Amino acid sequence: MWLVRELVRLAERIAISFIVALVIAEVRALAIGGDTWHGFKVSCLILGALLVLMGAIGRNNNFERRLDAGITEAARGRIPRSLDPGAKP
């Protein structure tokens, strides 16, 4: 069952990437002019390269930890809002 769920997630991500690449190609073709097919191929290559880089970095890395506000506040000596029992929402 988990295999089907993960395959559906993969197909969803591929479809979203395809739609984003198509939109970028259309906007580029309308703004600059030229062939939509060439813009689509280039945008697919760029998005694919970015997704491969994101996949290679993985989770729980320095970039993700740097953007985590709770860790940043704790490093500066403040109590993160999620850990402060008196914090108002």
Residues 28-52: tens digit of each pLDDT: 888 888 888 888 888 888 888 888 8
Please give the chain's pLDDT, 89 residues, in tens. Answer: 888 998 998 899 889 888 988 888 888 888 888 888 888 888 888 888 888 887 787 777 776 666 666 655 665 666 555 555 565 65
pTM: 0.56
Amino acid 75: pLDDT? 58
Amino acid 82: pLDDT? 57
One-letter amino acid for residue 44 of the chain: C
Q: Determine phi and psi for 70, rounding to 5 degrees.
A: -65, -45
Q: What distance in Å separates the CA atoms of residue 18 and residue 25, rounded to the nearest whole number?
A: 11
